[in-house]
Amino acid sequence: MEARAPELDARQEGSRARLQSLGTVLPDVAELQLLFARLNNEFFAGEIPAHRIAYNGRFGNLAGRITYKPPLIELSPKHFEGNVEALRETLLHEMIHAWLHARGENPGHFGPFKRKMRELGLPSIYHDLPQAAHRRRPRR
Ligand SMILES: [Zn+2]
């Protein structure tokens, strides 16, 4: 199931190396905040407004969720134990929603969303993680 895009550029390789140095331990919330800031600068020209990044252990099949007001990205820790790369991909996925929303574009899984996914080398709209289907709507 590990369908990786082979054409990672040097920046992504660098990000991956840094993440792997964290081992299998999940980043703490302060590290998530730094990761968000770094990805925002690397891939979104810093255009995404500040979001709080938090873990939510109560998600079922959901790996990640974004709320625009207040700006919040929540990640499900159980989906990422031992798989920090999946955490990075899920965070990037939610960040594409935030970026489109900030630009006044439709933040749904449509053309602009898919173009940005391809640009970032993300494999599919849905997570490759077992049982980790992404919810289509951020509302509960
Ligand atoms: Zn999504």
Residue 133 to residues 49, 98, 113, 124, 139: CA-CA distances in angstroms?
26, 19, 17, 11, 15
Residue 129 lies in a domain: no
Regions of the chain short of the pLDDT cut 70: 1-24, 124-140
What is the CA(10)–ligand 1 centre distance, in A?
26
Q: Is 37 exposed, middle or buried (0-12, 13-18, 19+ CB in 10 A)?
A: middle
Residue 139 lies in a domain: no
Query: What is the per-residue pLDDT for 52?
Result: 97
Characterize the bridge pairing of strands 52-55 and 72-75: parallel
Query: What is the per-residue pLDDT for 108?
Result: 93
Residue 127 lies in a domain: no
Expressed as residue numbers, the domain containing 82 is 10-120
Backbone angles phi, psi at 89, to 5 degrees: -65, -40
d(CA 51, CA 94): 11
Query: What is the per-residue pLDDT for 7?
Result: 43
Query: What is the per-residue pLDDT for 126?
Result: 60
What is the CA(108)–ligand 1 centre distance, in A?
7
What CATH number is attached to the domain comprising 14? Answer: 3.30.2010.10
Query: What is the per-residue pLDDT for 137?
Result: 47
Residue 33 lies in a domain: yes
Q: What global pTM score does this model have? A: 0.74
What is the CA(121)–ligand 1 centre distance, in A?
15
d(CA 35, CA 53): 10
Query: What is the per-residue pLDDT for 123?
Result: 77
Residue 131 lies in a domain: no
Q: How many domains does the chain have?
A: 1
What is the CA(57)–ligand 1 centre distance, in A?
19
